Chains A and B, each alone.
Chain A
Amino acid sequence: MSENLITKKMWVEEILEKYPTAQEFLSKKNIVCVMCGEPVWGSLEELMQEKDFTDEEIERTIDELNRFVSENPEDKQVDNNLPKLDKTYKRID
């Protein structure tokens, strides 16, 4: 496997900024990384240790996370054009 994009020492905030889809994976693992609308402080490793993950579980989960974000890249399309404001929203789910 190629070198991991996400490492256990990375800040949670940085991971969510660079790889937003990571949250979906972490949430399913019961690792809540956004509280009060904001990423929690600290590294992913610290957050997982809070959840009583062992060192082995942390390594395994990080590998799975990296596979997940590789297979589910962010489809962020950002530009600086002033959009026309839509007064409604559409349902997609």
Chain B
Amino acid sequence: MPNAKLQVPFPTNEPIFGYRAGSPEKKLLKKTLTEMMSTEIEIPIIIGGKEIKTGNMGECRIPHDHKHIIGTYHKAGPKEVEMAIDAALGARENWAAMPWEDRIAIFQRVAQLLATKYRHIINAATMLTQSKNAFQAEIDSACELIDFFRFNTYYAMKIYERQPNSAPGMWNTLEHRALEGFVFAVTPFNFTSIAGNLPSAPAIMGNVSLWKPASSAVFSAYYLMKLFKEAGVPDGVINFIPGSGAQVGNPVLQSPDLAGIHFTGSTVTFQSMWKTIGRNIENYKTYPRIVGETGGKDFIVAHTSADVDALRVAIVRGAFEYQGQKCSAASRAYIPKSVWVQLKDPLVEDIKSIKMGDVLDFRNFMNAVIDRAAFDSIAEYIKYAKAANDAEILIGGNFDDSKGYFIEPTVILTTNPKFKTIQEEIFGPVITLYIYDDDKYEDTLHLCDETSPYALTGAVFANDREAILLAKNILRNAAGNFYVNDKPTGAVVGQQPFGGARASGTNDKAGDMINLLRWVSPRTIKETFNPPTDYRYPFLEEE
């Protein structure tokens, strides 16, 4: 429709379904879960819309019932990477040239299909292979991902609207071009929403992408590919190449057409990719945009004026929801002695009451951690704390992988402010507490700031405004998402743009215009309506 200036509908956040007893959404979700569990699907690589099978297989296991496999997937290698790059570059010209309104219409349709027809499917896939309870799946794979699509398409329009001033006699315009090449999206297991967002945010801006999902989350990612296809994302715009990080990642990074990386995962892997790009910098056709969100050692600092009940709930929800496997999960807390006296027993009671188990039992607050490697890694930290002289396990500390990868919600108390588990990212249901003298609040804020290399999320609990102000100032660079009297998890698209700096990433705020700006390369065009016909300027005239 060339003769119209279109407006993308102003987005609102997707409402969260309640999944109450007897509700239609709960019945449908349970039916879908049962169906998925009773079959085993074969997941192909998808390149240029074509299904590719290599025979080099991986498994989709249910973490809370790890003997149960509900899918197998074909792994990509260097050959498939080359094919994917060719397919992406082949699709690029048409996709980048498509009127932006049409690209946006496709992704608005993706959002709507996810909100309706695909909601229970993607939620069930996430619950089963990523071991999320219904609520955690709903806020992630349904609501947050729908929000990503709706807000990103709206922000895309806002970016395209932005134009420079023009002096009389000319018209200056800014064209927000797609990047010259492809974007490599590397997505994590812990959020299906991030998995869907990383390849699609660049695509909304006219780019093509290669998508390597986490090996433990291929199952839900495959259903997202089906969603993209049905909504009309053209073949080759998003190419699905599951496989081992090194087998897929290394050849991708060698491609001269690499134009960007959209990454969520570990700091070590991100830094390794950045170094590789640095070493290859002369080989690329353009400087790759590097966007990454990595680890966190997210904190809660309580002041003596804190509301103890609010603090308790924030610790339990912030540290243990989704088994602590959120980049934003609270994994260290600093509590003043006078507050600890009031907090300790109710906190222990709350944690004792947490039920853990299968996602099919909707009464379970917690489920399993993602896989064997994660289970072992977390268990090693707990064993370390058990053996230490300067720490004790206040509650939890047990783990069992006989049926699923279950780890109890665990609270470690330490007298050492630099104890291993208060510094290192564990990525599991483990929080370490340090109890400080009431009069050491300011010192403790500095301690919190200096204890970890990360700076993703953090929270302060206080009713005293001066204490809040002090925390905001001292912890200015300690978190990209800072919370006052709230848990440090649960950022909402359009409300709390998400991302952190220092070792936590490039802080390009997923789901915000800030992020989308990384996926365009502006071209300025000046058109002069009546160009000069004499090279001589007026000052050249004789007196």
Contact = CB atoms under 8 A, between A and B. Distances in A.
A77 B403 CA distance: 11
Given A20-B372, A35-B268, A89-B403, A79 B67 contact: yes
Contacts of A79: 67
Nearest to B381: A27
Interface in B462-480: none
Contact of A85 (B190, B358, B369, B379): B358
Contacts of A77: 67
Contacts of A82: 37-38, 68
A20 B374 CA distance: 10
Contacts of B404: 89
Contacts of B398: 91-93
Given A38-B214, A83-B67, A24 B427 contact: no
Given A91-B400, A92-B399, A36 B244 contact: no
Nearest to A74: B372
A37 B369 contact: yes
Contacts of A34: 373-374, 376-377
Contact of A37 (B65, B371, B397, B402): B371
Nearest to A90: B400
Contact of B269 (A16, A41, A80, A85): A41
Interface in A34-93: 34-43, 46-47, 50, 77-83, 85-93
B190 A78 contact: no
B245 A89 contact: no
Interface string B7-45: 000000000000000000000000000000110100000
A42 B400 contact: no
B69 interface: yes
A36 B377 contact: no
B68 A37 contact: no
A7 to B, nearest CB: 14
Of residues A20, A41, A78, which shows the largest number of chain B Cβ atoms within 10 Å of its Cβ? A41
Nearest to B360: A85
Contact of B244 (A14, A21, A32, A87): A14
B246 interface: yes
A73 to B, nearest CB: 14
Contacts of B267: 35
Given A13-B246, A87-B358, A89-B357, A40 B268 contact: yes
B399 A36 contact: no
Interface in B290-305: 294-295
Interface string A1-17: 00000000001011010
Given A23-B377, A89-B356, A38 B403 contact: no
Interface in B263-317: 265-269, 272-273, 294-295
A16 B245 CA distance: 13
Nearest to A28: B380
B247 interface: yes
Nearest to B268: A40
B325 interface: yes
Nearest to A46: B272
B334 interface: no
Contacts of A36: 188, 190, 265-266, 294-295, 327, 425, 427
Contacts of A40: 245, 266, 268-269, 272
A14 to B, nearest CB: 7
Interface of A: 11, 13-14, 16, 20-21, 23-24, 27-28, 32-43, 46-47, 50, 77-83, 85-93
19 contacts: A11-B246, A13-B246, A20-B372, A23-B376, A35-B427, A36-B188, A36-B327, A37-B188, A37-B216, A37-B427, A38-B269, A41-B269, A43-B246, A78-B66, A78-B67, A86-B403, A87-B357, A89-B357, A90-B402
Interface of B: 37-38, 40, 65-69, 188-190, 214-216, 244-247, 249, 265-269, 272-273, 294-295, 325, 327, 356-358, 360-361, 369-374, 376-377, 379-380, 397-400, 402-404, 406, 408, 424-425, 427
Given A38-B189, A38-B266, 8 more contacts: A13-B215, A13-B244, A16-B372, A35-B425, A80-B69, A89-B404, A90-B400, A92-B402
The 7 A-B pairs with the shortest beta carbon distances in the complex, nearest first, are A35-B266, A41-B245, A34-B377, A91-B398, A27-B380, A37-B374, A36-B266
